[in-house]
């Protein structure tokens, strides 16, 4: 699979397979094809041969193109790559840059775009949740999750930092807890952007705290939050992200956010010793298995659509899996009959309902003062 | 230009389709259509020379040049991403490119080993307005069929192109302009997607009788090289190449035979095209009016029969060699024997009729008895719709109604149109051509089930209405019963 990004004016910006300069003739042809259709009052969407699938996406001032041997989810993948670009610059900034100078070389401003796109593409191939538009929740005992949620919310509210709009704890690409102000809602696709960012900067985050501007395209493509990102427990724990929309109302919002993190960690450590050990262990080595009696179930994905934010529970694939399409998808062994598959499905649904508090995030997140 | 007009039968009145909306006129959906010869427009300033035919004809030359140039650019662009081995593997005839845009669906296919490009674009809004679900492989199949129909009557593009460019342009202009204006597409994409023939089910003895008669014809008349034998609109026997069978069968069952049948049903009948008044059957192609008349024409003017081009073998370039044959079709008691001969003489026709008429009547009578004594059509008992296709034998069976079909269809109401889209998507997304055994069951919001089953290359698509709440397990049992009851001979379970 290859992903290309170029400007509407024909300038190559990014190629996932190698140096975009070497592919300048291909970029020029893509530009010509897209622009020709624009001249006809049309919009080129895709090309397809027997074994090749090419999808185009015009998001002024950018043109994105994906070339794949598989036809599935190409538009979604292009949207995700575009979202990565917007998360770095914001849509307004992007348009301003090219309005000022249409032959601007955007590569200087997108220094880590290759890592971000690589992280995206890795997710396409390896994370079964990526196309489900949902939050994958880290399985955790309800009491542990409740404790983390309440502690985070209290610490943020007690500092009086009404510019903190989101507080998120992430481990192993999964959401542990989230607190937010009532009017702010985090979109699952924006959450994927955060996951990609953490993945491709994990070393840097582990070394030090980070305070960076970040745009959440689905929340507001024209503005930026200032995100404080740090691993707990000296780089060994889950990743804490605090979003501030201070816009420098405070002289140094990072101080406030750093303080919140410190107090959060202190409160966790001050909890009952055995519970803390259990909690830390659950976060570092989560138990994501659903106990099934039969080994015929290779893999499952379950999306709970009854919650405001669609939440997903899935097993870690032990055996080869096929990209799931349905809301509840089971991959069974090849010798399983349909009747057996139905029985396994019913069993799995019952277990998920019993285990709901552990595998889903049921605590209302909108508890921050703002 | 031959005096025979392949469209003559098309212009005759046809039986009205059972539901007017089952078929749509392609001309109501089309945005453009073109035939291009890339090598003709390589020089700067002469790019427009590559346009051999374009519809609509009143489009500007710049737009025609642009559209065809774009198609060529796409072919080259996509070729750059495939390695040489894959390109060779996919260089079969009709190597395609699908292009989708906000306004159109476009298909471009390479014809005659890439010597020509043929393209068609359907307008999205028009398709939506007419309720036509665009399944790109189906439109590709329709495009290929237009080319094959031309080739059947006029031979390959390159042969005439090399002889005389202006004549070639005129020929394809006349043919495609008219063909596109009358071509209809099925609302159910699969019926256009699968190119097959409806075989008549014959017992061993009946088939032996047919085969014996065919062998005797060939033995008796050495000029007869190939034969197709049909009863009503079903195929009994053929000796043409498989690559020619589909287009021939389509032409015979959708035009020639229905036209002949209409003539037979008219009061008084059409002017009898029989050499001898004592014969029951008659020729349904060609003109034999010269018999016994002073026609005042050239002394050597003989009978004229339509010319068709059939495959003989491949030449060194991998292109099929086509030979021209006269299509001599004789019909008696619902049985049609189509013979392909290189030369036709009055003596041959006389002898042929004398020999064939009694034999064909005997055969037609035997088959007719079997048909009239056959138990009630099993299809009337079916509470579902099906499409069965065997790509090896080219057998295609369905109980969806066709205006050209004489068999009755089931009484079950047709599925909603969303089902066809679902079935197409199921076939595209869940079927791997390399897999030999596949079964996919999908339930629609309208509670119809679509089951696509492939065993030993044979494909069966079932459309099952849901009369009671059912699960995947229930429908699996239903499908097993259906296959056992109606398709036991076709699948090895």
Residue boundaries of the structural domains of chain B:
4-186, 204-373, 378-486
Q: Do A33 and B70 touch (CB under 8 A)?
A: yes
Q: Do A42 and B96 touch (CB under 8 A)?
A: no
Q: 3-state DSSP call for residue B306? A: coil
Residue ranges in B155-266 assigned as alpha helix (H): 157-163, 165-182, 189-193, 204-220, 242-251, 257-265
pLDDT confidence of residue B292: 45
Task: Kindly report the average pLDDT of chain A as a whole number.
Answer: 82
DSSP B9-34: HHHS--PPPSSGGGEEEGGGTEEEEE
The size of chain B, in residues, is 493
Q: Do A48 and B97 touch (CB under 8 A)?
A: yes
Extract the tokens encoding A301: 């994905």
Residue written as token pair 């460019």? B165
- Residues in chain B with CB shorter than 8 Å from the CB of A37 are 101
Start-to-end CA distance of chain B, whole Å, equals 53
CB-based burial of residue A308 (10 Å sphere; 0-12 exposed, 13-18 middle, 19+ buried)? Answer: exposed
**CA separation for the pair A129, A55 (Å, rounded):** 22
Q: How far is A49 from chain B (nearest CA, A)?
A: 5
Instruction: Give the number of other Cβ atoms within 10 Å of residue B35's Cβ.
Output: 25
What CATH code is assigned to A136-286?
Answer: 3.30.450.30
pLDDT confidence of residue B304: 76
Gyration radius (Cα) of chain A, Å: 22
- For A339, the closest chain B residue by CA position comes to B473
CATH 3.30.450.30 residue window(s) in chain A: 136-286
Q: Do domains B4-186 and B378-486 have the same CATH topology?
A: yes
Nearest to residue B230, comparing CAs of B206, B249, B247? B249
Q: Do B473 and A342 touch (CB under 8 A)?
A: yes
**CA separation for the pair B260, A259 (Å, rounded):** 93
This prediction's pTM: 0.85
- For A49, the closest chain B residue by CA position comes to B97
Residue B217 pLDDT > 60: yes
pLDDT confidence of residue B316: 57
The second-level CATH assignment, the architecture, of B378-486 is 2-Layer Sandwich (3.30)
Nearest to residue B229, comparing CAs of B146, B334, B313, B125? B334
**CA separation for the pair B142, B24 (Å, rounded):** 13
Residue B71 pLDDT > 50: yes
Residue written as token pair 């009854």? A306
**CA separation for the pair A320, A328 (Å, rounded):** 18
pLDDT, tens digit, 9 for 90 and up, residues B97-152: 999 999 999 999 999 988 999 999 999 999 999 989 999 999 999 999 999 999 99
Residues with Cβ within 8 Å of residue A361, at least 6 apart in sequence: A135, A137, A145, A175, A177, A178, A307, A311
Which of B70, B82, B102 faces A52 most closely, judged by CB atoms? B82
Beta-strand relationship, B224-231 and B234-238: antiparallel
- For A67, the closest chain B residue by CA position comes to B81
What CATH code is assigned to B4-186?
Answer: 3.30.450.30
Interface probe, candidates B47, B62, B76, B78, chain A, greatest A C-beta count within 10 A: B78
- Residues in chain A with CB shorter than 8 Å from the CB of B473 are 338-339, 342
- Residues in chain A with CB shorter than 8 Å from the CB of B77 are 26, 29, 33, 47
CB pairs under 8 A between A and B: 69
Q: Do B103 and A43 touch (CB under 8 A)?
A: yes
List C-alpha distances in Å: B292 to A21, A105, B3, B279, B299.
81, 87, 21, 17, 13
| CATH domain A2-126 topology | Beta-Lactamase (3.30.450)
pLDDT, tens digit, 9 for 90 and up, residues B275-333: 556 778 888 887 655 444 443 444 445 567 889 999 886 555 666 688 999 999 999 98
pLDDT, tens digit, 9 for 90 and up, residues B12-51: 334 333 344 578 899 999 999 999 999 998 888 888 999 9
Q: How far is A32 from chain B (nearest CA, A)?
A: 10
Q: How far is A80 from chain B (nearest CA, A)?
A: 21
Q: 3-state DSSP call for residue A310? A: coil
- Does the beta carbon of A51 lie under 8 angstroms from any beta carbon of chain B? yes
User: For B153-164, what is the mean pLDDT?
Assistant: 93
pLDDT, tens digit, 9 for 90 and up, residues B390-411: 988 999 988 887 655 544 455 7
Task: Kindly report the average pLDDT of chain B as a whole number.
Answer: 83
Q: Which residues of chain A have pLDDT under 50?
A: 319-327
- Does the beta carbon of B99 lie under 8 angstroms from any beta carbon of chain A? yes
User: For B421-433, what is the mean pLDDT?
Assistant: 84
pLDDT confidence of residue B271: 47
Residue B167 pLDDT > 90: yes
**CA separation for the pair B439, B423 (Å, rounded):** 13
CATH 3.30.450.70 residue window(s) in chain A: 2-126
Read off the pLDDT band of B85 (50, 70, 90). Answer: low
Interface probe, candidates A338, A342, A343, A345, chain B, greatest B C-beta count within 10 A: A338
Q: B227 or A252: whose pLDDT is higher?
A: B227
- Does the beta carbon of A29 lie under 8 angstroms from any beta carbon of chain B? yes
Nearest to residue B493, comparing CAs of B485, B187, B93? B485
Q: 3-state DSSP call for residue A240? A: strand
């Amino acid at each position: 699979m290859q992903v290309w990004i170029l400007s509407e004016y024909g300038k190559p910006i990014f190629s996932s397979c190698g140096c975009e300069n070497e592919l300048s003739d291909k970029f020029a042809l893509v530009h010509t094809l897209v622009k020709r259709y624009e001249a006809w009052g049309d919009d080129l969407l895709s090309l397809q041969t027997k074994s090749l699938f090419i999808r185009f996406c015009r998001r002024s001032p950018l043109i994105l193109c994906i070339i794949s041997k598989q036809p599935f989810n190409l538009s979604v993948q292009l949207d995700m790559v575009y979202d990565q670009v917007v998360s770095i610059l914001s849509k307004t900034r992007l348009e301003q840059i090219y309005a000022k100078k249409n032959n601007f070389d955007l590569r200087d401003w997108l220094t880590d775009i290759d890592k971000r796109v690589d992280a995206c593409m890795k997710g396409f191939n390896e994370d079964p949740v990526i196309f489900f538009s949902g939050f994958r929740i880290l399985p955790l005992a309800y009491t542990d999750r409740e404790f983390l949620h309440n502690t985070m919310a209290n610490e943020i509210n007690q500092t009086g930092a009404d510019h903190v709009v989101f507080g998120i704890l992430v481990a192993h690409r999964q959401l542990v807890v989230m607190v937010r102000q009532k009017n702010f809602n985090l979109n699952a696709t924006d959450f994927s952007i955060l996951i990609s960012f953490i993945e491709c900067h994990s070393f840097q985050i582990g070394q030090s705290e980070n305070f960076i501007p970040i745009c959440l395209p689905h929340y507001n493509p024209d503005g930026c939050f200032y995100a404080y990102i740090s691993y707990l427990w000296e780089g060994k724990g889950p990743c804490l992200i605090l979003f501030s929309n201070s816009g420098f109302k405070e002289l140094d919002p990072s101080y406030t956010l750093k303080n919140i993190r410190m107090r959060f960690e202190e409160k966790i450590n001050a909890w009952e010793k055995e519970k803390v050990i259990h909690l830390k262990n659950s976060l570092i080595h989560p138990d994501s298995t659903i106990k099934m009696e039969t080994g015929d179930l290779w893999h499952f994905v379950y999306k709970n659509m009854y919650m405001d934010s669609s939440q997903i529970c899935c097993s870690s694939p032990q055996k080869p899996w096929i990209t799931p399409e349905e809301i509840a998808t089971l991959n069974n062994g090849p010798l399983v009959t349909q009747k057996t598959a139905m029985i396994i499905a019913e069993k799995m649904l019952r277990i998920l309902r019993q285990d709901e508090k552990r595998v889903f995030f049921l605590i209302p997140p909108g508890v921050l003062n703002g | 230009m031959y005096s025979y007009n392949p469209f003559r039968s098309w212009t005759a009145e046809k039986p009205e389709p059972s539901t007017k909306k089952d078929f749509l006129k392609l001309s109501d959906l089309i945005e453009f259509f073109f035939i291009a010869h890339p090598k003709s427009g390589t020089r700067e300033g002469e790019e427009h020379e590559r346009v051999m035919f374009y519809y609509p004809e009143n489009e500007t030359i710049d737009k025609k040049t642009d559209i065809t140039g774009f198609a060529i650019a796409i072919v080259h662009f996509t070729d750059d991403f495939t390695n040489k081995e894959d390109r060779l593997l996919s260089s079969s005839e009709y190597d395609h490119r699908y292009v989708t845009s906000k306004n159109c669906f476009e298909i471009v296919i390479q014809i005659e080993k890439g010597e020509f490009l043929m393209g068609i674009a359907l307008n999205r809004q028009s398709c939506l307005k007419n309720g036509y679900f665009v399944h790109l492989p189906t439109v590709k199949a329709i495009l290929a069929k237009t080319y094959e129909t031309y080739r059947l009557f006029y031979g390959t593009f390159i042969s005439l192109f090399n002889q005389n460019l202006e004549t070639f342009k005129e020929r394809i202009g006349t043919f495609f302009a008219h063909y596109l204006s009358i071509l209809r597409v099925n609302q159910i994409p699969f019926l256009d997607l699968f190119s097959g023939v409806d075989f008549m089910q014959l017992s061993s003895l009946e088939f032996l009788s047919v085969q014996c008669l065919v062998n005797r014809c060939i033995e008796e008349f050495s000029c007869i090289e190939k034969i197709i034998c049909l009863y009503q609109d079903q195929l009994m026997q053929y000796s043409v190449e498989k690559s020619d069978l589909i287009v021939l069968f389509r032409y015979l069952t959708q035009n020639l035979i229905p036209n002949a049948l209409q003539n037979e049903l008219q009061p008084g009948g059409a002017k009898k095209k029989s050499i001898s008044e004592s014969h029951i059957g008659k020729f349904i192609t060609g003109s034999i009016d010269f018999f016994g008349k002073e026609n005042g024409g050239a002394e050597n003017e003989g009978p004229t029969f339509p010319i068709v081009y059939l495959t003989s073998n491949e030449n060194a370039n991998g292109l099929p060699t086509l030979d021209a044959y006269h299509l001599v079709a004789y019909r008696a008691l619902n049985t049609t024997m189509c013979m392909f001969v290189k030369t036709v003489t009055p003596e041959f026709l006389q002898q042929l009729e004398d020999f064939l008429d009694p034999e064909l009547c005997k055969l037609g009578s035997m088959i007719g008895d079997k048909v009239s004594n056959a138990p009630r059509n099993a299809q009337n008992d079916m509470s579902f719709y099906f499409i069965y296709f065997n790509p090896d034998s080219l057998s295609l069976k369905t109980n969806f109604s066709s205006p050209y079909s004489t068999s009755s269809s089931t009484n079950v109401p047709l599925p909603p149109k969303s089902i066809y889209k679902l079935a197409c998507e199921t076939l595209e997304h869940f079927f791997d051509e390399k897999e030999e055994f596949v079964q996919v069951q999908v339930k629609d919001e309208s509670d119809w089930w679509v089951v696509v089953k492939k065993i030993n290359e044979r494909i069966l698509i079932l459309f099952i209405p849901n009369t009671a709440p059912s699960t995947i397990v229930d429908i699996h049992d239903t499908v097993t019963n259906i296959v056992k009851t109606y398709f036991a001979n076709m699948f090895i379970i």
